[in-house]
Chains A and B, each alone.
Chain A
Amino acid sequence: MNWPGFSAIANAWWLLLLIPLIIFYFLKLRRPRVEIASLALWQSVVNDQRVNSPFQKFRRNILLWLQMALLILLVLAAMQPFFVGGSARSRYLPILVDCSASMAATDVESGNSRLDLAKERVREVVENLLPDQRVSLIAMHSTAQRLTEFTDNKRILLDALDQLTIRDVPSRLEDALRMTQALARTVPVESVLVYSDGNFPQRVSFDLPFEINYQQLPPAGSNAGITAFNARQAEPPNWDVFLRVEASAALLGTVGLWQDGQRLGTATFVLDAGQSQRITFDVESEISSRLEAKLEVDEGSFDSLAADNVAFLDLPTARPLRAYVDPELKNYRHALRTAENVELFPANDDRAVDSDVRSAAYDLVISSKLDDRGIDAVTRLFIGAIPEDVSSLIVTPVVTGLTEFIDWDRSAALLQHMQLRDVQISEDITKQDDVEDANFEAAGYSILAHGNNGPLLLERRTGATIEYFNLFHTENSTLPYRIAFPIFVSNAVQIARQEAGISEVRASKTSVLPSREVAADTEYRVVAPSGESETVRSGKDGILNGVAAFESGRHRIMDGGSELTSIAVSLLDSAETSLASVEQIQFDELSVEAADELLDTDRPLWSTLAAIAFIVLLAEWWFFQRPAVS
């Protein structure tokens, strides 16, 4: 049996008021006077032993007892007693509430979402908050958002809880825990409450400095959703459009595809639990168009999550890749001339490059001159050029020597499917003494390939532009004579296509809007599908990026009163659609299992005692006011 605890036991001193209460009671006791013929009979009654029994003595002073009971109850209430719950009691209690997309999944019977259930349970915790306890509410989705400071103000907490809404993004427990860790530096945090459906990565890279009480919410109903939506250019103007549909339970339904509001077709899917199905559509689009896919389950089936039933994809205008290749790089020009859907500039290898050609916009620039960084392109590949900002890190001028590829990033888009082991380089690219790889990274470069003495290939992304620097000249190597060379060129073309969005487009996911090129240093208003708007400012490079997109749907970028452009984002997350649930969170050093029982919070008793005191007060009032003699 758990004895109740007291939050303000010092208030027990008020019990000393019993002494003056008793004194005043006997001093001030007023009884109605009733004259009777003789006291003889009543005196004999009072002298009766039964009257003087302990019980009768108690009854004789029942008003005093009522007053003492009232005082004791009030003092007990002031001492703020509470029943100790099962969980360890913390003075500062951060509560992490998952509000990712999967928390919108509803029950078949009640129709309540996981977030509704979490709110209900958190509300219970807040309602039973003890006077010395402080709670901070933290929303957990793709990032962590602190809703309240540590406070005991129930109104603030409940208001914040009511305003908590679903974000159509996956949840990242790690971010929320790191925010909590930051909070723990200001106040002593012993334990953290986590309310979630468990739809987050099982492994979390985090060293727990506090205990975690993981309150896993019960699973929702079945769900099916679109988890991938992309298109690849076929023979212009045709596009192959791919959709991937997944389900958490055996479900069947249809997926319809709309192009600029026109229904293109419908495909049926039949899925078992955990299965996925790829659906293909053939779409003709000469100019840019907007695709929208909608998923519907058959009647009789239940789909618990709505956010993953719609996906958006913007198809660009079908056109060939525009590539500018330095006329001196004949190997590259030769390789690109035979490539499909590539328009090569300048067209003639021997002709001098005029200013019109240089000032035009391209999708890909391949050059050996750093001056060509001024050509407008989203993808640039420099051969045998060392950027100025890393020239101090490398021994220049480059001397002749024999160099080999020691290691390279095989997952890099530019180097995939390439074998560089037998490539010989007659230039010795050597980094300066005391220069580490981190120095290149500090300068904004990623090293994609390492030679004997230093880096051989660098990558740098600046806004919407990606640049590659091959530090050695390929003509001073055996690369052009290896099978890796056409693959290298093909990879560059493929990257350029993707960066330009003309060969393959993928539907954007929620969380952050894709970057857009707009006017530099200008304020825009981004209007979410729900109508909420946010004012953002573009960078000096004219790139609008880092705009949060927590809702699935089309976000409009408004320049003043007019719509500049719109960007559609979709959930497209396999984990969220599957409604998978993690029973155990694996941290770096330990694992935390979901609690078996609902959180048994400390239950304050002061309100109950106050209610009883009020009843006693009423009883006393009745007892005092009732007619003494009728």
Chain B
Amino acid sequence: MLRPFSRCRAFSMEQTSSKPRLTGLLSNETLARVERMRLVPNRRRTNRAQGEHLSGKGGTSIEFSDYRDYVAGDDIRRVDWNIFARLQRPYLKLYSHEEEMHVTVLVDASSSMRSEEKFDRAKQLAAAFSIMGLMGGERVSVFACNHSGGGPEMETRMAGRVSTRRVFRFLENLEPSGDVPVEHAIESMLRLHHGRGIAIVLSDFLTFGDVSRSFNLLYSARLELFALQLLGPTEIDPEITGDVRFVDSETGDALDISSAGELLGLYHEHRLGLEQYLGEQSRKRAGRFVSLSSGDSVERILFETLLRQGWVQ
């Protein structure tokens, strides 16, 4: 379990309002609130290293978890002698095991993210999730993929408050370009990643390929998927009529559409179908999926949408 509040490292709103902005991605107020928030994974996937996350296996922390019957070979130091004195039977006292969780943030930095502030919103969310991880004592890695074939840009294995500047600098310097599909970006990221935890994928997921293989790889890598689809307002609800020629921002390919206005109904069907497919693929692998509008503010996404859906607390 993540502890809801860090005990002493939270900024108060009053303290940050008078200070200069630490980053262009998030306001100080938002940053202060984000620092008090924590990611809420569905499953306990942690590294062996000591951390704030309680291991499901039980462990050596002082936080009591449960009792069980003593079996041969158990460490007799864990026997609760008070119970033994009262019941004349040995019971082992179990404690929660707190381990470190690796938060991996993957930002789709292909050209398709350039439109309608999708990339800006992705960077803001990536920053927010990274801050949550760093403030929660997790190890944080941030990846950004853009060009097919090329390796991802990354800032890996960051930990502690001191890494916040690295995170901000890395994200602020990102520019969208390239044509890498998101499934390839995930695979590229996995080739460089080590550790269990959460994989937060920020993308529009508008790909011609199939994400199921990449999601499988994430699952195999013991990474719980947090998939966030970011679509622009006109992608969610396009207002197009007549004959148009669509040009792909990544590939430059063209597609002629006649009577586009008549096809909007079908478009919505296919868009919702994609959301449903991505949601199913995520849930099959114990992950989560949410589709967001880049027109919504990052505060609204964080403090309303994700908070209400239990992604963060």
User: Distance (Å) between the CB of A427 and the closest chain B CB?
Assistant: 113
**Contact at A39–B253, with CB atoms within 8 Å?**
yes
What is the total number of residues of chain B having a CB less than 8 Å from a CB of chain A? 41
Q: List A contacts of B242 (CB < 8 A).
A: 32, 623, 626-629
Most chain A CB neighbours (cut-off 10 Å) among B111, B256, B260: B260
Shortest Cβ distance from A619 into chain B, in angstroms? 14
- Knowing A41-B206, A629-B240 are in contact, say whether A34-B259 is a contact too (CB < 8 A): no
Shortest distance in angstroms between B62's beta carbon and chain A's nearest beta carbon?
51
Specify the chain B residue showing the minimal Cβ separation from A625.
Answer: B242
Question: Which residues of B are found within 8 Å of A51, using beta-carbon distances?
Answer: 263, 266
Proximity bits, A184-202, B CB within 8 Å = 1, else 0: 0000000000000000000
Cβ of B249 < 8 Å from any Cβ of A?
yes
Contact (Cβ within 8 A) A31 B243: yes
Residue of B nearest to A629 (CB): B240
Stretch at the interface among B26-34, B112-120, B150-158: B112-120
User: Which of B5-13, B267-275, B285-293 forms contacts with chain A?
Assistant: B267-275
Query: B245 to A33, Cβ gap below 8 A?
Result: yes
- Beta-carbon contact of B274 and A60 below 8 Å: no
Residues of A within 8 A of B271 (CB): 41
- The one of A29, A31, A45, A630 that contacts B267, using a Cβ cutoff of 8 Å: A45
Is residue B241 within 8 Å, beta carbon to beta carbon, of the partner chain? yes
Whether A36 is near chain B, meaning CB under 8 Å from some CB there, is yes
Q: How far, in Å, is B239 (CB) from chain A's closest CB?
A: 5
B-chain residues with CB within 8 Å of residue A423 when the two chains form the complex: none
Q: A40-B207, A41-B206, A41-B274 are in contact. Are A62 and B259 (CB under 8 A)?
A: yes
Is A44 positioned at the interface, with any CB of B under 8 Å from its CB? yes
Bound: A29/B114 CA distance, A: 29
Q: Taking the complex as formed, is A43 at the interface, i.e. its CB lies under 8 A from any CB of chain B?
A: yes
Known A38-B112, A59-B262, A630-B241: A31·B256 in contact at CB below 8 Å: yes
Q: Is B244 an interface residue (CB 8 A)?
A: yes
CB–CB A60/B240 < 8 A: no
Neighbour of A38 across the interface among B204, B258, B270, CB < 8 A: B204
- Our count of residue pairs bridging A and B at CB distance below 8 angstroms stands at 110
Is B232 in the interface zone, CB < 8 Å from A? yes
Q: Is A63 an interface residue (CB 8 A)?
A: yes
The smallest C-beta distance from B142 to any residue of chain A, in angstroms, reads 22
Contact B262 A42 (CB under 8 A): no
Question: Is B244 a contact of A35 with CB atoms below 8 Å?
Answer: no
Instruction: Give the CA-CA distance A185 to B248 in the complex, in Å.
Output: 79
**A41 and B207 contacting across the interface, CB-CB below 8 Å:** no
Give the Cβ gap from B108 to chain A, nearest Cβ, in Å: 11
| Nearest opposing residue in chain B for A35, CB measure | B247
Is the CB of A61 closer than 8 A to any CB of chain B? yes
Q: Is A50 an interface residue (CB 8 A)?
A: yes
Residues of A within 8 A of B253 (CB): 39
B235 neighbours in A (Cβ, 8 Å):
36-37, 41
Knowing A37-B112, A38-B207, A42-B267 are in contact, say whether A630-B245 is a contact too (CB < 8 A).
no
Q: Does A46 contact B (CB under 8 A)?
A: yes
Cross-chain contact A45 with B263 (CB below 8 angstroms):
yes
A40 & B206 in contact (Cβ 8 Å cutoff):
yes
Q: What is the 8 Å Cβ interface bit string for chain A, positions 511-525, against chain B (1 contact, 0 not)?
A: 000000000000000
List B residues 7-55 near A (Cβ within 8 Å): none
Residues of A within 8 A of B187 (CB): none
Say which residue of B114, B243, B249 sits within 8 Å of A63 (CB atoms). B243
Q: In the assembled complex, which residues on chain B have CB atoms less than 8 Å from the CB atom of A60?
A: 258-259
CB contact under 8 A between A43 and B241, given known A37-B115, A59-B259, A59-B262: no
Give the docked Cα–Cα distance between A478 and B248 (Å): 133
* Contact partners of A340 in chain B: CB under 8 A: none
Extra 15 A-B pairs, beta carbons < 8 Å, given A37-B250, A42-B267 = A31-B243, A31-B256, A32-B242, A33-B254, A35-B249, A37-B115, A37-B232, A39-B255, A44-B270, A59-B259, A59-B262, A63-B243, A626-B241, A628-B244, A629-B244
Of the A-B pairs whose beta carbons lie under 8 Å apart in the complex, a sample of 20, sorted by A's number, is A31-B244, A32-B245, A34-B240, A34-B244, A34-B245, A36-B249, A38-B207, A39-B246, A41-B270, A41-B271, A45-B263, A46-B257, A50-B266, A51-B266, A59-B262, A623-B242, A626-B242, A628-B243, A628-B260, A629-B239
Chain B residues with a Cβ under 8 A of chain A: 111-116, 118, 204, 206-208, 232, 235, 239-251, 253-260, 262-263, 266-267, 270-271, 274
Contacts from A to B (Cβ < 8 Å): 29, 31-46, 48, 50-51, 56, 59-63, 623, 626-630
